[in-house]
Chain A
Amino acid sequence: GQQLNQSPQSMFIQEGEDVSMNCTSSSIFNTWLWYKQDPGEGPVLLIALYKAGELTSNGRLTAQFGITRKDSFLNISASIPSDVGIYFCAGLPGAGSYQLTFGKGTKLSVIP
C-alpha cells in the first residue's frame, strides 16, 4: 500500500524556536492533512490542504502542499510548551480511494 515518510521522528527544541517537519510520498495525494495528538487523546486536525502549491496558516502553524503533490511540510513558529505532542501528516489519494494514509508521526518536545 501507499506509504508516507515523515521526518524527523522526534525533535527537542528550545521554547521560542521555530520547528519544521515534513512528509514525502512516492505517490500523488490530492489532499494533505496535519494532525496533532496529545498523550492518551485522539488526533486533532490542524490544517487541511487541497491544492498543489497551497500555503495555509493557522495561528503560528503554516503548512504547504508540495507542487509535485508528493510532499508537504508543517512549520511552527515561536514554539511554546503546549506545542508538545506528536504531529501526524496524512494524505488522501482522491477519486477512487477513501483511505487516509498516515505518517508515523514526529514527536516534538519543547524545553522551557
Chain B
Amino acid sequence: DGGITQSPKYLFRKEGQNVTLSCEQNLNHDAMYWYRQDPGQGLRLIYYSQIVNDFQKGDIAEGYSVSREKKESFPLTVTSAQKNPTAFYLCASSTGPYQPQHFGDGTRLSIL
C-alpha cells in the first residue's frame, strides 16, 4: 500500500542529545514537509522540501535540521539547541507545492 511511514511512534530524548525522526514515502511525491503539533494548537511548519537536495525553513526551524538525499526520505533531526522539543511531529508529502498534503501517523517526542 502507498503511504507515508514515520518511525518511531514514540521517542524519548535525554537533555543535550540530538535525535532523528524518520519519514519515508512511497507515493512518488516530490514535496515533503515536517510539522510540529502542540496541544490545542494548529500545525506549525518546521521545514519543507520541494525536490531532492533542496529544502527551505518554515516558521519554526530553529533547533531543527533536515536532509533530502532521496526522493522517498526526509529525516528530521531535533538538536540539543531546541529547548522545548516535547511535541507531536508530523511528516507530510504532496505531488507538488500547491497540492493537498497527506500525512503520516506522527512521532511523539518526550524529554527524559
User: How many interface residues does B have (CB within 8 Å)?
Assistant: 26
CB-CB under 8 A for A98 and B59, given A45-B102, A48-B100, A88-B42? no
Q: How far is the CB of A91 from chain B (nearest CB, A)?
A: 11
Q: Which residue of B lies closest to A47 (CB)?
A: B100
Stretch of A12-20, A36-44, A52-60, A72-80 at the chain-chain interface: A36-44
B45-A94 in contact (CB<8A): no
Contacts A88-B42, A88-B43, A98-B31: A43 and B98 contacting too (C-beta < 8 A)?
Answer: no
Residue of A nearest to B90 (CB): A42
Query: Are B97 and A104 closer than 8 Å at their CB atoms?
Result: no
List which A90-112 residues lie within 8 A (CB) of chain B: 90, 92, 94-95, 98-100, 102-105
B residues less than 8 Å from A45 (CB atoms):
100-102
Q: Which of B14-38 contact A (CB under 8 A)?
A: 31
Instruction: State whether the Cβ of B75 lies closer than 8 Å to any Cβ in chain A.
Output: no
Distance to closest chain B CB from A81 (angstroms)? 21
Interface contact A100-B41, CB-CB below 8 Å? no
On whether the beta carbons of B105 and A42 are closer than 8 Å, the reply is yes
CA distance A66 to B103 in the complex (A): 25
Give the contact-size bracket for chain A: 20 to 34
Determine the chain B residues whose CB is within 8 A of the CB of A44 once the complex forms. 103
Contact A104 B40 (CB under 8 A): yes
Q: How far is the CA of A19 from the CA of B69 in the complex (A)?
A: 44
Known contacts A43-B90, A88-B42, A88-B43: does B98 contact A98 (CB below 8 Å)?
yes
Identify which of B4, B42, B106 contacts A40 (C-beta below 8 A). B106
Give the Cβ gap from A12 to chain B, nearest Cβ, in Å.
Answer: 17
A92 lies within 8 A of B98 (CB): yes
Tell me the bound Cα distance from A23 to B106 in angstroms: 25
In B30-88, the 8 Å CB interface with A consists of 31, 40-45, 48, 50, 56, 58-59
Q: Can you list 6 pairs linking A and B with CB atoms under 8 Å apart?
A: A1-B59, A42-B104, A45-B102, A92-B98, A99-B48, A100-B101
Residues of B within 8 A of A (CB): 4, 6, 31, 40-45, 48, 50, 56, 58-59, 90, 92, 97-98, 100-106, 108
